[in-house]
Amino acid sequence: MIKLPQEVNGLMDAFKKNKFQIYVVGGAVRDMLLDPSTSLRTSSKKEMELDWDFTTNATPEQILKMFPDAFYNNVYGTVTVPIKNKQSNNETMKQFLFEITPFRTESNYSDSRHPKKIEWAKTVDEDLSRRDFTINAIAYDGKNIIDPYGGQKDLSNRLIKAVGDPDIRFNEDALRLLRAVRFTSQLGFLIEDATRDSIQKNAGLITKISWERIRDEFLKILGGDHPSEGVLFLKNTGLLSYILPEVDVCFAIPQKSPKRHHVYDVGTHLVMALKHCPSSDPITRFATLIHDIGKAKTFYKDEKTDLITFYNHEVVGKKQAEKIAERLKLSNKQKDKLITLVAEHQYTVSEDQTDKAIRRFIRSVTKEYLQDMLDLRTGDRIGSGAKPTSWRNELFKKRLEEVQKQPFQIKDLKINGNDVMKLLKIKPGPQVGSILKKLFEKVSKGKIKNEKQDLLDQITTIN
């Protein structure tokens, strides 16, 4: 028997006391059956992002009567009950979100997007029949497991298999095409043959889905434990050509060339880089996956020498990254990060670099994304068949730290000699330097702030 958290039992008991049927369904049952020793959905690591789904024969109104704190505000009839998590001592994770949806069926899909009408169902079996994959169509009432579609068998075989006829199910709702791939990345499962063939056959239906919903699933694919497998499924089923054609075409771009270290075509290199990128951040992984897309447009092969080059591919790639970020409706913050990482990925690592050059590099990448930039490079290196690092690379990282530790200098002031000359209407000369020096001393001693206006205000008094 699966042990449920106290809060879940409490919620289910309230239904049972009122003579209603109530079942845990979806991801929570799936995760508990996969790993009964730890209930993933109560561990502090995951509970923030993972919800508990229930299904019941109670109506939304009846649920609201039992839980006055609950809210009910969507067309699917889902009632959300917030309940305090007693086991959690972390302030930010103190509640479970329980989502309770009355038994329902879905019928009359006309646009591969949403059902034209939703009808309530009478039994849990009927409710399970509308769910996407067998591993998601298992219900648990605290004692018995209801598994009409062989979900437990597929869990042990590690397979994602559509409930019913896959062609019909994907035509009903094309988001399921991406959900299947998302579960390959999150769970490390394969897709059952007929389901996979059907995804390939119906891949074009994805164009009916909004980019916001595609983005959400795609970022979950990137954020899973097996993102490169997920991307290969996208590639092999044809979905990638709709979502990221810029990456799709890279699989046809060779880069083996005399005296070059590359062992893979550009597309395979990108997937391998993603596989080995040590960051778990979906946007850093995204940037790693697309860092070389500019190579498809800049490919040049010299007929005489057979040498292949991709001049300025990072400049072209930056423009493409901007388009991709727009298309996938990333937030401004996500956009900025994705584009910066792609634009800067060609940075050189050399023992001859000056501190100034290293400082310039930090300024263009920004301190905030510095570790992400290094993680992209690690993926890039391993994904090219190189060792994870080199002595040059290690030296560079050390220098990055040292440069950042260097004490505050005159040139770090928020104003410069030009500001001084302009304000005092004077020409270049020792007076300018001496004023800057005095300002610097004042800022170092904490007497004034290093803010442009504060500094300008001081200039006349110092002079």
Residues at the site binding ligand ATP, with contacts judged by CB under 6 A: 26-27, 50-51, 53, 131-132, 136-137, 173, 175-176, 179
Rounded least distance, CB 128 to ligand ATP, Å: 8
Minimum CB separation of residue 306 from ligand ATP in Å reads 49
Q: Judged by CB, which is closer to ligand ATP: 137, or 296?
A: 137
Query: What angle (nearest 5°) sits at the alpha carbon of residue 234, between those of residues 147 and 299?
Result: 170
Q: Which of 23, 90, 17, 97 is nearest to 56 (CA)?
A: 23
Question: Based on CB atoms, which residue is closest to Mg ion, 99 or 167?
Answer: 99
What DSSP designation does 132 have?
A: S
With CB cut-offs between 5 and 8 Å by kind, which of Mg ion, ligand ATP, none does residue 173 bind? ligand ATP
Least Å distance, CB 167 to Mg ion, is: 25
Q: Between residues 136 and 384, which has the closer beta carbon with respect to ligand ATP?
A: 136
131 binding partner (options ligand ATP, Mg ion, none; Cβ < 5 to 8 Å by kind): ligand ATP
**Residues 6 or more apart in contact with residue 247 via CB below 8 angstroms:** 231, 235, 240, 267, 270, 289, 290, 293
Least distance (Å) from ligand ATP to the CB of residue 101? 8
Residues of 361-399 as b/e, b for ≥16 C-beta within 10 angstroms? beeebeeebbebbbbbbbbbbbbbeeeebeeebeebeeb
Nearer to ligand ATP, 113 or 442 (CB): 113
Query: Which H or E run includes 22?
Result: strand 22-25
Cα 33 from Cα 138, distance rounded (Å): 10
Of the pair 27, 379, the CB lying nearest ligand ATP is at 27
Rounded Cα gap, residues 255 and 108, in angstroms: 49
SS3 readout for 408-441: CCHHHCCCCHHHHHHHHCCCCCHHHHHHHHHHHH
Nearer to ligand ATP, 222 or 400 (CB): 222
* Nearest residue (CB) to Mg ion, 96 versus 361: 96
Q: How many angstroms separate the CA atoms of 439 and 409, rounded?
A: 11
Minimum CB distance to ligand ATP, residue 110 (Å): 16
Beta strand segments in 62-183, E: 71-72, 79-84, 95-102, 104-109, 115-120, 139-140, 145-146, 159-160
Minimum CB distance to ligand ATP, residue 172 (Å): 8
Q: Which position's Cβ is nearest ligand ATP?
A: 27
**Least distance to ligand ATP from the beta carbon of 248, Å?**
24
Q: Which does 439 bind (CB under 5 to 8 A by kind): ligand ATP, Mg ion, none?
A: none
Interaction partner, residue 7 (Mg ion, ligand ATP, none; CB < 5-8 Å by kind): none
Query: DSSP class of residue 161?
Result: -
CA dihedral for 185, 187, 189, 192, sign (positive or negative): negative
Rank residues 177 and 376 by Cβ distance to ligand ATP and give the closer one: 177
Rounded to the nearest whole angstrom, what is the least distance from the CB of residue 152 to ligand ATP in the complex?
A: 14
Q: From ligand ATP, Mg ion, none, which one binds at residue 317 (CB under 5 to 8 Å depending on kind)?
A: none
Answer whether 282's CB lies under 8 Å from 334's CB: no
Nearest 5 degrees, angle CA 398-CA 403-CA 405? 95
Q: How far, in Å, CA of 346 to CA of 340, rounded? A: 11
Q: Which does 132 bind (CB under 5 to 8 A by kind): ligand ATP, Mg ion, none?
A: ligand ATP
Q: Are 29 and 152 in contact (CB under 8 A)?
A: no
Give contact residues for Mg ion (rule: CB under 5 A): 26-27, 51, 53
Distance CA 328, CA 302 (A): 36
Of the two residues 168 and 426, which places its CB atom closer to ligand ATP in the complex? 168
Between 52 and 264, CB nearer to ligand ATP: 52
Buried b (16+ CB within 10 A) or exposed e, 129-163: bbbbbbbbbbbbeeeeebbebbbbebbeeebbbbb
The residue (of 26 and 115) whose beta carbon lies closer to Mg ion is 26
Nearest distance in Å: CB 74, Mg ion: 15
Count Cβ atoms within 10 A of the Cβ of residue 410 and give its class: 0-12 exposed, 13-18 middle, 19 or more buried: middle
Minimum CB–partner distance for residue 16 and Mg ion (Å): 22
Task: State the minimum distance, in angstroms, from the CB of residue 419 to ligand ATP.
Answer: 54
